[in-house]
A and B are shown apart, each in its own frame.
Chain A
Amino acid sequence: EDKVVQSPLSLVVHEGDTVTLNCSYEVTNFRSLLWYKQEKKAPTFLFMLTSSGIEKKSGRLSSILDKKELSSILNITATQTGDSAIYLCAVESMSGSARQLTFGSGTQLTVLP
């Protein structure tokens, strides 16, 4: 059974701090790893990673995949209160001809002013 584990489960920091969120996975037929930010109900897409070692960057957020270690990290620098959210990691895999997306439980990030 495919498994995605995120750590830490929750994190409280102050504005300006840098945070690193972790995602590890065990899946067969890996295709890609995705990061989402969930503030209220609907997760919004952040990054999709398919190749190991290539950093994706968007403003203060960046992410990188390590296929050897079966993991990914999401970095947020100079955090702001608006970064407070649940960050979800999902891994896309193939089961036969069916595409499957397995989500982790998320990391709850709280950024205090």
Chain B
Amino acid sequence: GAGVSQSPSNKVTEKGKDVELRCDPISGHTALYWYRQRLGQGLEFLIYFQGNSAPDKSGLPSDRFSAERTGESVSTLTIQRTQQEDSAVYLCASSLVWGRGELFFGEGSRLTVL
């Protein structure tokens, strides 16, 4: 596609439910990132995929968070047993090659946990 696509754009869920967020990066981009942005705060790194290498999961806040990526295509971020503090905008970004600084961001998925 022309840009990074994320779905859903908005998700309201009840505490304790699982949610799955999807990211479709720009075709040909080998690197894919997930970030979280809480209201009024900066971007918080969650996880990074580079080609077929093992992902860098160092930013995942707890074992309730996991992410998968199939090859160099779609990625899904799963949050199990959601908590109210998980409420945030989850942004996905991709870049053409490893080491390039220019990230292209999706519009984000706004998650609200009631």
Give the size of the chain A interface in residues (CB under 8 angstroms).
25
List, in ascending order, chain B residues with CB within 8 A of A6's CB.
Answer: 42
Tell me if B107 counts as interface (CB < 8 A to partner A).
Answer: yes
In the bound complex, do residue A43 and residue B105 qualify as a contact, i.e. CB atoms below 8 Å apart? yes
A6 to B35, alpha carbons, bound, how many Å? 18
CB-CB nearest in chain B for A94: B99
Instruction: Find the residue from B4, B42, B105 having the highest chain A CB count within 10 A.
Output: B42
Contacting A at CB under 8 A, from B41-95, are 41-45, 48, 50, 56, 58, 89, 91
A92 to B102, alpha carbons, bound, how many Å? 11
Give the size of the chain B interface in residues (CB under 8 angstroms).
26
In the bound complex, do residue A34 and residue B43 qualify as a contact, i.e. CB atoms below 8 Å apart? no
A87 to B99, alpha carbons, bound, how many Å? 22
CB-CB nearest in chain A for B106: A42
In the bound complex, do residue A106 and residue B42 qualify as a contact, i.e. CB atoms below 8 Å apart? yes
Q: With both chains docked as a complex, state the minimum distance between the C-beta of A21 and any C-beta of chain B, in angstroms.
A: 14
Q: Which one of B4, B43, B48 contacts A99 once the chains associate, using CB atoms below 8 Å?
A: B48
In the bound complex, do residue A42 and residue B42 qualify as a contact, i.e. CB atoms below 8 Å apart? no
Tell me if A44 counts as interface (CB < 8 A to partner B).
Answer: yes
> Known: A42-B105, A43-B105, A101-B33. Contact between A88 and B43, CB under 8 A?
yes
8 sample A-B contacts, Cβ–Cβ < 8 Å, listed by A number: A42-B105, A42-B108, A43-B103, A45-B102, A88-B42, A98-B48, A101-B103, A103-B45
Q: Lowest 8 A-B CB distances belong to which pairs?
A: A105-B42, A103-B43, A42-B105, A48-B101, A41-B108, A103-B42, A98-B56, A41-B107
